Structure 1
Amino acid sequence: MTNAFAFLRSRLRNLPSLHRRAPLWARLVEVAARVGYGARGFVYLSVGVLTLLAAANLAGDAVGPTGAIAWLAQQPLGRVWLFLLGLGLLAFVQWRMLQAVFDADHEGRTWDGISTRASQFFSGLGYAFLAFSAFSLLVHTPADPEATEIAASHENASRLLNLPAGNWLLTGVGLCILGVGIANIVRAWREDFTAFLACSENLCRRVAPLARAGYMARGFAYLPLAILVVLAGWHAEPSDVTSFGAALETVERQPAGPWILSIAALGFIAFGTFSFIEGRFRRIRPPRELKPLA
């Protein structure tokens, strides 16, 4: 009889309906994170489609994430989409900060864990800039967003070059961009992208190549921009600094450039698609307490 009661207690304890429900803030964090992955997916899917059309000479120039957001601003109901996209990107930023500062993914304090969390932190800063760009376009949409972005890049490079050892600082920025690109390429080869997905083994096996292709494309896409920024620092010439989209245009002008650009575009589309999959299937585990983990 005792064994029967013990068995019954163990079965009741394992019933999902009897588990203590997660706090409201944790459920809200999960929803926000999933929305954030969807917003990231929308951005990169747009980048991929617009770049693929540019490579086929069916549209304008290749674009980066900020260029895709600027394109969205010029579409019907563009201001509504910008507002929603900005909110989605901010939701992704808060999830990145939870990952980086509060170790939501339980990466720990090992060297690999700290490097992963540092990458998540800087990723969050990048998406915060994208969110800021979306909200800025709500206030003012320039006639030529790409030219405005390039002019802003020139101005920022000039300010940096005017500082003591400014050429070395600008070269360092280029090397940092190069490091981001290489890190994406390495991650494409080494990362187990299904480790955080709550999906069937068959589905996980099917979607993993999307992630690898996406990170590989992102990594290689950063390299032309990194080289241009390094050369700008080396020559102390701010006009060499350009935008992400303009750097892709430089690639297109090379031999076999349209084919290379098309492959990169397909990689962006794969990355955007995988972001949507993460929004649906990723295991979101908000930290139990908001205590920074050093």
Structure 2
Amino acid sequence: MSSLTSTVRDRLADLGERGRKRLPILKRVPPLHDLLEGAARIGYGARGFVYLSIGLIVLLAATDRIGEAAGSSGAVAMLAEQPFGRVWLILLGLGLWAFVLWRVLQAVFDADREGRDPKALMLRAGQAMSGLFYALLASGVFEILDEIGRDPSSDDVAENQQKAALLLDLPFGDLLLIGAGLVILAVGVGNVIKGATADFAEALACSPEICRRVTPVARAGYVARGLAYLPLASFVILAGVHARASDVTSFGGGLDAMEALPAGSWLLGATAVGLMAFGAFAFVEARYRRIRPPKTLIAG
């Protein structure tokens, strides 16, 4: 790994030096560590925007202002229908790709200095999975640019059911589908546990007063995001148990199922507020999170 990172660092430095010699304007380009930090902060802001949008849509669904809840794709599609929607989508997609870059730096190059003990490797693996999710979302943002007007909720359900059918066609496909559901369940439970136990102020470079105020927001956000995954996890697990791909739904479909429970509108509304809290905390991270680009990429 050290030889790879040294090679990447040396090539970036060489390209930068040659570019500055040929184009004097490039001398004004900030150092690499400043560019990486800026990309990370833009990425956190883009994530915050996505979850604020999802939370708002879910809140509107809980109060019967719109027909159904929506996940990330639905939120992005609704954004596309607003004035200057295409411009917003392009900016959002670029911001999400910036966040993917930061996840790569965290997972592969250990930007957070977590180390290589088992707990650290599990955390970095989670960051890698998060990066993959946001890469798919960022790609989907640009796909929506060519598909404005289509129903993203139906598309998400159909796509998920198609993936489930492909799994079921494999040997032990029902067990694989149950395993996928258990992974989603683990993600949800992990978010709830993190919301309840994590020291969110540890990663923030802000005053004790600001950290004290934003910590409850972070806790509410992570718990709500974790709970929002549980309905989808249950649908996927049951689809594996019954070997029926048609039982699989989308993130938004799982939230709709939550609304059908006793006092479901109140539960869905609380989840919506929590998702908006998660988005708000992402903006806090965009401003105050300690961003430390990997030493292996910026060291001389």
How far is 1:258 from its partner?
A: 0.2
Q: Distance in 2 between matches of 1:227 and 1:141?
A: 31
Matches within 5 A, 1:266-281: 266-281=273-288
How far is 1:290 from its partner?
A: 3.5
Q: Distance in 1 between matches of 2:99 and 2:178?
A: 30
Q: Which one is further off, 30-39 or 163-172?
A: 163-172
How far is 1:214 from its partner?
A: 0.4
Structure 2's unaligned 5+ residue stretches are 1-29
Picking from 209, 226, 236, the partner of 1:219 is 226
> For residue 51 of structure 1, what is the aligned residue in structure 2?
58
> For residue 154 of structure 1, what is the aligned residue in structure 2?
161
The residue type paired with residue 202 of structure 1 is E
Deviations 1:95-153 (A, max 9, x none): 01101111100011122211111111111111111101101111223521111111111
User: Contact 1:142–1:148 (CA<8 Å) still a contact in 2?
Assistant: no
> For residue 67 of structure 2, what is the aligned residue in structure 1?
60
Picking from 249, 254, 279, the partner of 1:247 is 254
Q: Distance in 1 between matches of 2:153 and 2:97?
A: 23
The residue type paired with residue 85 of structure 1 is L
> For residue 212 of structure 2, what is the aligned residue in structure 1?
205
Picking from 79, 87, 91, the partner of 1:80 is 87
How far is 1:163 from its partner?
A: 1.1
Q: Distance in 1 between matches of 2:198 and 2:103?
A: 18
> For residue 11 of structure 1, what is the aligned residue in structure 2?
none
Deviations 1:59-93 (A, max 9, x none): 23111112111211222221111111010000000
Q: Distance in 1 between matches of 2:197 and 2:262?
A: 31
Deviations 1:2-51 (A, max 9, x none): xxxxxxxxxxxxxxxxxxxxx71111000000000000000000011111
Q: Distance in 2 between matches of 1:122 and 1:143?
A: 28
SS at match of 1:61: coil
SS at match of 1:60: coil
TM-score normalised by the chain length of structure 1: 0.89
Picking from 24, 27, 47, the partner of 1:40 is 47
> For residue 131 of structure 2, what is the aligned residue in structure 1?
124
How far is 1:179 from its partner?
A: 0.6
> For residue 15 of structure 1, what is the aligned residue in structure 2?
none
Residue 163 (str. 1) matches residue 167 (str. 2) = no
* Equivalent pairs, count: 270
How far is 1:245 from its partner?
A: 0.4
> For residue 261 of structure 1, what is the aligned residue in structure 2?
268
Percentage of identical aligned residues: 56
Structure 1 or 2, whichever has the larger Rg, is: 1
Q: Distance in 2 between matches of 1:152 and 1:106?
A: 37
> For residue 287 of structure 1, what is the aligned residue in structure 2?
294
Structure 1's unaligned 5+ residue stretches are 1-22
> For residue 143 of structure 2, what is the aligned residue in structure 1?
136
The residue type paired with residue 297 of structure 2 is L
Q: Distance in 2 between matches of 1:215 and 1:64?
A: 16
Residue 27 (str. 1) matches residue 40 (str. 2) = no
SS at match of 1:92: helix
Q: Which one is further off, 147-156 or 173-182?
A: 147-156
How far is 1:94 from its partner?
A: 0.5
Deviations 1:171-196 (A, max 9, x none): 11001000100110111112110111
> For residue 113 of structure 2, what is the aligned residue in structure 1?
106
TM-score normalised by the chain length of structure 2: 0.88
- Residues 142/150 of structure 1: CA separation in 2 closer, same or farther (3 Å cut): farther
SS at match of 2:290: coil
Q: RMSD value over aligned CA atoms?
A: 1.4
User: Contact 1:197–1:283 (CA<8 Å) still a contact in 2?
Assistant: yes
The residue type paired with residue 241 of structure 1 is V
> For residue 97 of structure 1, what is the aligned residue in structure 2?
104
User: Contact 1:55–1:258 (CA<8 Å) still a contact in 2?
Assistant: yes
